[in-house]
Amino acid sequence: MRKRKTKKIILIAVLVFLLISFIVGYMITSWHMNRSFGRADYPEAGESATWFYDHYEKDYPREAVDFKSGENTLKGFIYGMDNDRGVIVFAHGIGMGHERYLSLITRLVDRG
């Protein structure tokens, strides 16, 4: 009887330890991800080696669009409105924004 009670106490202790480890691990991971991949502002002109939209604006006009994805409102731009060969949805993911990829986007627009 005593052996069974000891096993039960050990099992509960292990489960509590695992639960606490999971919570602490989640908190550390969340903090680190927010610190590393949080929202950022564009750098001032001249502080980056990347061209921004003002460099492309004359040759590549764009139309701003907003659309819902669940409860989130996503924002984007349509480039190459005269193209009729198809649509490419460019989702840049983590990073400073789509303007970091304008050289690629403009090449895609140039090819229809």
The whole-number pLDDT of residue 60 equals 87
d(Cα 86, Cα 78) in Å, to the nearest integer? 12
- Separation of alpha carbons 98 and 23, rounded Å: 34
Q: List the domain range (segments joined by +) for residue 31.
A: 1-38
Average pLDDT, the chain: 83
Spatial separation of the C-alpha atoms in residues 37 and 40, rounded to whole Å: 8
CA–CA separation, 97 vs 40, rounded Å? 9
| pTM assigned to the model | 0.51
112: its two tokens: 């229809």
Residue 45 lies in a domain: no
Counting residues of the chain whose pLDDT is more than 90, the rounded percentage is 26
Q: Is 60 found in the same domain as 34?
A: no
Do residues 58 and 32 share a domain? no
CA distances from 5 to 14, 17, 18, 19, 38 (A): 14, 18, 20, 21, 48
Per-residue pLDDT of the chain (112 residues; tens, 9 = 90+): 688 889 999 999 999 999 999 999 999 999 998 887 766 666 666 666 667 788 888 888 888 889 898 998 888 888 888 887 777 877 776 666 777 788 888 898 888 8
